C-alpha cells in the first residue's frame, strides 16, 4: 500500500525544506522529496553558501596580500586553490547534513528521488536506480526552484562556458574571464576570480549594472568595482560564443552597431535563472503556468488546482532564498488554517561583494514612477568613526522617507557590513517606523550602524557628523 501524507513538498531547497518543517510543526504528517541527493537546494549546494564561502576566502587572500600597507608584515602569500575549494565543500556538506538532521528531528519523511505527478493527489518518486514508488498526499507544495538560463544556441560545458555551478568549481584561476551579465551572480563571482588573480571583463547589455537597484547605488558600485580592477563593457549584446581549443571567443555588438570580440579561458554566462518545472508532469494534471513559465498562484500560494500550492523561485517575485523560506512558512500556515503572509515591500536584497550592497523597499526611481514625494537622508562611511578606525570607508547609507509622514519607504546601502545593517531598516519598516524613530534610537559607538542613524538624522537635515 502506498504511503499517505497530509502534505508533501516537492523540492528540498530553502523554500521546500523550511515549508516541510513548518508543516510538521503544525502537526501534519509531512514528506519532502528531493532529487539532487542532498538537501538545501540551489542555495546550499550550488548557490548562496558555496558562493559566500568563496567570496570570504578570496577576500581573506586579497586582504592578507595587502596587510603590509597596515604595518603587518607577512611572508610570501600563496594560493592553494584545491584547499580553498575543499574548505568551501566542507561548509556545504556541514549545512546540507544539518538540514537532513532537522527534517529527521521534525519527523518529516525524506524521499530521495525525482517527484512527478501521476494525478492531483498521487506522486511518483524515481530514485537514482530508477526504482519507482508512489505516495498519496492531501496537499502538495511545489518548491522545485530554478536553474541557470543561457543565451540562445549557447550550451554550458561547465569548463570553458560555465554557469553559476561551474564557476564555483574551476580547478585553476583563469588568466582572463569574461562574465556575461552584470547582475548578482556575475558581480559576486567576478569579484571572487578577480581577487584570485584573473583579469575579469563584464559584458552587460544595459547601460548600468544590477538592474532594479537604486541607480545612485548602482553607479557607485560600478565605480568601486572598476577601482578594484574589474573591466566593464556596457551596452554590449552578446551575439555568439565560440569555443576555440581551450578558450572561448565572445562576439558582441555595442549600441552603435560596432562589433567586438573578447577572448578568454573561461566565460561565465550569468544572465538570469528560469523556473524549474521540467519533469513534474504538470500538463497531465492541468496546472497553469504564467507567461514566463512560472507556476501561477494566488496570494495564498494556491495554484489553479485546489490542493496544490507553489512557492520560491518557481513562482513570481525575486529569486532569493529568504523570500522562498518566508513563502514556505506562510503557505504551511495557510494550509493549517492560519493567516500566513509575506510582506513583499520589506524583502531585502544583498550583494556580498566588498563592499556589500544592500537594499530594501522602494528605490528613488520607483518612487518617482509612483509619483510619491519623498525626502532623502544620506551619510557617508567616510564620516563614520568605526569605518575610519579600520580604514574601510567606501560607500554610504541612503534612506528614503515619505515627504509628509516621514515613514521609511526604502533604504539603499553600499559599504562595510551593509548586508547586516539592512536588517535594522527591515524591522523599522515592518513596524511602520519613521526616519525620526531610527534617528532617536540609541546606536552603540563606535559601530557601522551609527551611519544608519546619521542617515536617518540627515532626512531632516540634522546629521551631526557631516
Ligand atoms: P531551490 O533552492 O532551487 O531548490 C529546489 C530544489 O528542488 C532543488 O534542490 C532541486 O534539486 C529540487 N527539485 C527540482 N525538481 C524536483 C523534482 N521533480 N523532484 C524532486 N526534487 C526536485 N539567494 C539569496 O537570498 N542570497 C544569496 O546570497 C544567494 N546567492 C546565490 C548564489 C548563486 C550562485 C545562485 C545560483 C543563487 C543564489 N541565490 C541567493 C538564490 C537562491 O539560491 C534561490 O533563490 C533559492 O535557492 C530558491 O529556493 P527554492 O527552494 O525556491 O529553490
Ligand atoms: P540577474 O538578473 O541578477 O542579472 C542578469 C544580468 O544579465 C542583468 O544585468 C541583465 O541586464 C544582463 N543580461 C541579460 N541578457 C544579457 C545579454 N544577452 N548580454 C549581456 N547581458 C545580459 O541574474 P543572475 O546574476 O544570473 O542571478 C540570477 C538570480 O539569482 C538573481 O536575480 C538573484 O535573484 C539570485 N542571486 C542572488 C544572490 C544574492 O542574493 N546575493 C546572489 C546570486 C544570485
pLDDT in tens, 106-162: 999 999 999 999 999 999 999 999 999 999 999 999 999 999 999 999 999 999 999
In this prediction, the residues of the chain whose per-residue pLDDT falls under 70 are 1
The grid cell for 30 is 509531512
Look at residue 66 in the predicted model and tell me its pLDDT: 87
Bridge partner residues of 133 (DSSP): 125
| Confidence at residue 113, expressed as pLDDT on a 0 to 100 scale | 98
Domains along the sequence of the chain with CATH: 3-148+274-342 (3.50.50.60), 161-271 (3.50.50.60), 346-459 (3.30.390.30)
Q: Dihedral of CA 325/330/333/335: which sign?
A: negative
In the three-class reduction of DSSP (H, G, I as helix; E, B as strand; rest coil), residue 384 is classed as coil
Going by C-alpha positions, the residue among 110, 112, 107, 102 that lies closest to residue 18 is 102
Which mutation among 149, 181, 237 tests ligand 2's pocket best, with the greatest number of atoms within 8 A of CB?
181
Angle at the Cα of 67 from the Cα atoms of 88 and 57, rounded to 5 degrees: 5
b/e map 197-221, b = 16+ CB within 10 Å: bbbbbbbbbeebbbeebbebbbebb
- Ligand 2 centre to CA of 270 (Å) is 6
What is the structure's pLDDT at 69? 86
Q: Write down the pLDDT at residue 2.
A: 78
- Which residue puts its alpha carbon closest to atom 34 of ligand 2? 319
Grid cell digits, residue 63: 586582504
Q: Are 165 and 148 in contact (CB under 8 A)?
A: yes
Ligand closest to 312 (CA) is 1
Q: Is 358 left (phi over 0), alpha (psi -120 to 50) or beta?
A: beta
What DSSP element (H or E) covers 455?
A: helix 449-459
d(CA 373, CA 191): 37
Exposure string for 251-281, b = 16+ CB within 10 A, e = fewer: ebeeeeeeeeebebbbbbbbbebbbbbeebb
Residue 412 among the catalytic residues:
no
Residues lining ligand 2, Cβ inside 6 A: 151, 180-186, 188, 203-206, 211, 237-238, 270-273, 318-320, 350-352
Estimate the crossing angle of helix 449-459 against helix 418-430, to 10 degrees. Answer: 50
Task: Return phi, psi of residue 39, to 5°.
Answer: -85, 175
Amino acid at each position: 500500500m502506498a504511503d499517505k501524507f497530509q502534505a508533501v513538498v516537492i523540492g528540498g531547497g530553502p523554500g521546500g525544506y523550511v515549508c516541510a518543517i513548518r508543516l510538521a510543526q503544525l502537526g501534519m504528517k509531512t514528506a519532502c522529496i528531493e532529487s539532487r541527493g542532498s538537501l538545501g537546494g540551489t542555495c546550499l549546494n550550488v548557490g548562496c553558501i558555496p558562493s559566500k564561502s568563496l567570496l570570504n576566502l578570496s577576500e581573506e587572500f586579497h586582504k592578507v596580500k595587502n596587510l603590509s600597507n597596515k604595518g603587518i608584515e607577512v611572508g610570501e602569500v600563496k594560493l592553494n586553490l584545491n584547499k580553498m575549494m575543499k574548505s568551501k565543500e566542507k561548509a556545504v556538506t556541514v549545512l546540507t547534513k544539518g538540514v537532513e538532521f532537522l527534517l529527521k528531528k521534525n519527523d518529516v519523511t525524506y524521499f530521495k528521488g525525482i517527484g512527478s505527478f501521476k494525478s492531483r493527489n498521487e506522486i511518483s518518486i524515481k530514485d537514482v536506480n530508477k526504482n519507482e514508488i508512489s505516495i498519496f498526499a492531501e496537499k502538495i507544495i511545489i518548491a522545485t526552484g530554478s536553474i541557470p538560463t543561457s543565451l540562445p544556441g549557447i550550451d554550458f560545458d561547465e569548463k570553458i562556458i560555465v554557469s553559476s555551478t561551474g564557476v564555483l568549481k574551476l580547478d585553476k584561476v583563469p588568466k582572463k574571464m569574461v562574465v556575461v551579465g552584470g547582475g548578482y551572480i556575475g558581480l559576486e563571482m567576478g569579484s571572487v576570480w578577480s581577487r584570485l588573480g584573473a583579469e575579469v571583463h563584464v559584458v552587460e547589455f544595459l547601460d548600468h549594472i544590477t538592474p532594479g537597484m537604486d541607480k545612485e547605488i548602482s553607479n557607485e558600485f560600478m565605480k568601486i568595482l572598476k577601482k578594484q580592477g574589474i573591466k566593464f563593457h556596457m551596452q554590449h549584446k552578446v551575439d555568439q560564443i565560440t569555443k576555440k581549443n581551450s578558450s572561448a571567443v565572445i562576439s558582441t555588438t555595442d549600441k552603435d552597431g560596432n562589433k567586438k570580440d573578447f577572448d578568454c579561458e573561461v566565460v561565465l554566462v550569468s544572465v538570469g535563472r528560469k523556473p524549474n518545472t521540467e519533469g513534474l508532469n504538470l500538463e497531465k494534471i492541468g496546472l497553469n503556468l504564467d507567461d514566463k513559465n512560472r507556476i501561477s498562484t494566488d496570494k495564498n500560494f494556491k495554484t489553479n488546482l485546489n490542493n496544490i500550492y507553489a512557492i520560491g523561485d518557481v513562482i513570481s517575485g525575486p529569486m532569493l532564498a529568504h523570500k522562498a523560506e518566508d513563502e514556505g512558512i506562510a503557505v504551511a500556515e495557510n494550509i493549517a488554517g492560519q493567516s500566513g503572509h509575506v510582506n513583499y515591500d520589506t524583502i531585502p536584497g544583498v550583494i556580498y561583494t566588498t563592499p556589500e550592497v544592500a537594499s530594501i523597499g522602494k528605490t528613488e526611481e520607483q518612487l518617482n514612477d509612483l509619483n510619491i514625494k519623498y525626502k532623502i537622508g544620506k551619510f557617508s562611511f567616510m564620516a563614520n568613526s568605526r569605518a575610519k578606525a579600520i580604514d574601510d570607508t567606501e560607500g554610504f547609507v541612503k534612506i528614503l522617507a515619505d515627504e509628509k509622514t516621514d515613514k521609511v519607504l526604502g533604504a539603499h546601502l553600499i559599504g562595510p557590513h551593509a548586508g547586516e545593517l539592512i536588517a535594522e531598516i527591515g524591522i523599522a519598516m515592518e513596524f511602520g517606523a519613521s526616519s525620526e524613530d531610527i534617528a532617536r534610537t540609541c546606536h552603540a559607538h563606535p559601530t557601522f550602524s551609527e551611519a544608519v542613524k546619521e542617515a536617518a538624522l540627515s532626512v531632516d537635515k540634522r546629521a551631526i557628523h557631516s
